[in-house]
Each structure stands twice: as structure tokens, then as C-alpha cells.
Structure 1
Amino acid sequence: MKKYLVGLVAPMLALGLAPSAQAVVTQTVIAGTYPSATQKAYFYVTEGQPQAPVSDTVVASFGNSFSVADTFDTTFAFIIDAIGIGSGGVSFNFSSLASELEFLSVTVKSGTFLQTYLPSGNTNSAGSQAGFINNTFNSDGTKNGQAFNASGIPIAADNLSDPSYIRVVARKITANGAGAYNGSLTYNRLTTAIPEASTWAMMILGMGAVGFAMRRRRSTVNSLRVAYA
């Protein structure tokens, strides 16, 4: 029995997500916080139950922090036992160049849905674009971070061999200081009932009966027309 929604940041090779260069740092994380020499990733369910009976709403928090200059590729994978709709986002803010990060890409996957989002390249707050990683700004117009948000993502009922995931590739720009990003995911279960097999059978029989009655009625009308011709 599957016992978790999140808590599985699968190895990159197991998901077919091998890093693009040796300089990229990857990490395997199980539920909770697991510090390493260079980063500390976490992924927690904060509301709801992801396994049957699945809650109508499930919320999870995730993030990572870094203390050295490098590129970090982290996949936050999750298992859930019912289809639904997902939304969420990830962002970071920095107050000095020592803690500045840069999002290189965010990828979201669930079932057949697979989409990679890239930075929009916007230079001011008016340039924010849907479906992109956007810069955020201070009141004086200086950049203070980046943010990504998405909604309406179809969430599949997963299994261990094909988990859903959000994959964040981020770069720590300077060697000194610490940088971090934080995000959240929200799952809403689809509650529309799927008819059972017996219900489908009754519906098919009912439609067949209606079709037979309509055909018989047309035959009667045609016979009357011939009689009066």
C-alpha cells in the first residue's frame, strides 16, 4: 500500500533526469530535512491525507537552501492515490548579493502532463508573464528575487514507478552567504463520480430502448402516409 504523497525525492537517474553537466549538484531526499555539505532540501505534507481515503485538499511545502556557489538540480516527487487538480509555486528573495539565486528552470510532471518553465527575462514588474519564471522587484525597481506560479495542472493517480514531481534547477551565484527558495503545492481531488459498470449497462439499455421506440414510431408514420396516399 502506498503510504505517502510527498517524501520521495527520487534519484535523478531513476526518473530519467540525469544532470546536464557534472557541475550540477543533485541530492536524494526522503521525507523531512536532510542536510548535506552544500544544500538542505525538505518536502512535507502540511495538510490532508494523500493515501486512500484521499482528502479533498492536500497541501505540501518544499524548498532547498545552499551555502556554496553552484547549480543545484532537485526533484521533489510525490505519490497520490486519486486524480485531481494541482496548483502551486516556488520563489526566493534576497537582500544582498551574497544570498542571490537564479532559477534556471522549473519542470512539472504528472501522468502524461510534462511542462518545463523558463525565466521570462523581464526587467520590471510590469513584464510578468504567465507560464514563466518571473523576476520580483523592490519598490525602487531593483530586483529582489524570482517567482513561479502555476495552476490547473492535472494530477494523475500515481504509482511508485511513475511518480508526479516538480523539479527545480537553481544556481547559487556567489560563494559566500546562504541562499534559499521555498514553495508550496496544493492538490484538490476531483469529486465527480464515475458511473459503475452496472450503471453504464442500464444507460446503454435505456438508450437502446429509446432508439427502438423512435424507429418504430417512424415506421408507423410511414405506413399511415402510404395508406392515405
Structure 2
Amino acid sequence: MPLTDDVPVRRRSNRQAIATAERREQILDAAMTAFAEAGYHATSMRDIAGRVALSHTGLLHHFPDKAALLEAVLDRDLERAAVDAMLDPRQGESFLRGLVALAERDARDPERTRFYCVVGAEALTPTHPAHGYFRQWYARVREAVTAALEDLERRGHYTGPAGGIPLAAVHIASMREGLNQHWLLAPDEVDLVAAVTEQLQQYTDLPLNVLHGSSRSTTGA
């Protein structure tokens, strides 16, 4: 605070903190790319350090080990997704539209989607450092989708199977796994956003395609 009422304080920006934050973002970007290309186990900390022109010791200054780095990549992406889509399971309509918005975002960023496909598949092994992380995340997604569908049901806009909301939540929470692989392998044939929109539309009579600007037909999904 000012030392006197009439003398403003001139705060200097903490250049070191800013530089550290920027370097951290560079490391996370490089790690996501490396994990998407080769997977977690086949990627070394030295490889990631080389991508951002850091020494191995310099990288360890930011992240103590590879598992911590992977967790940071996952945390950052989930935080960004929450901000981008503004997902609120208490509002079923906006929640489903948020899922469409996330599909649109992912369609613009194949590397991110590939990262989740590769690491998610590896994490099926109980010894993988992200195994518990994905288990917890998928459970939270199912809970959120269930809440969103229940809100639609209360408002009279749920069109899925009567009494089948828990199973419908499983279907919605898991549908992207297969769709992502179809799209990554044949992006000119599979319209990811259209497939997601059409699948979600089965559970509500409210229009969900207001955010969807693609006109390609969907095949192979």
C-alpha cells in the first residue's frame, strides 16, 4: 500500500516470475507434444528438455520428475477446458452445448486429442502414473453428465431412455474415445463435431447444433 495518501506506489513487474511462468508453459507444450508422439514411457525428460533448449538439470528445476510433468500437463488442460466450455452440470442444456464446444476446440487441435488417446490408453495399466488420475477424472465426468441429464429430465427436456440416466451418462462420457480415434485416423472422412452433436441430440429435444459450423457429413462414427 502507499506509504502516504498522496504518493502512488510504482510496482515493478517481477520479470523473473513472468519468465518462469512463460518457460513453464513452453515445457508443458513440449511435453504434451512429446507424449502425443511417443507416449509417456518412451519419452524421456532429456528429450523434453531438448525441445525447449534446457539442460536436464534445468528441466528438473521446474518439474522434479516425469510423472509430475505429466500431471501438470493434464491439470492445465482440464483447467482450460473448464474455462473454454464453462461446464456447469446444474444446467443441462448449457452443459451439453459445452460438450459440443469442447469437440469444436479439439477438432482445431489434433495434437491435444492425440495426446489424450495415447496417454489414456497407456493409463489402462494399473502401474501407469496417470492410472488413478484417469479413473478419478472419468468418474467425475460420469457424475457431471448424470447431473446434467437429471436437470434436463426435471425440466421436461430429457429424451433418452426412461430411468436410464446412469447408463446414458456412461454412453455420453465414453463416446469420445472411439470417435477420437476414427477422426484422428481419417479426419477428411469423419466429422468429429457433427458426430458428437448428433449423439448428444439423442438425449434432449433442445437444439444443440447452434455452436456447430461444420457442414461435412459424418461417416465411420
Q: TM-score, normalised by structure 1?
A: 0.21
Higher-Rg member (1/2): 1
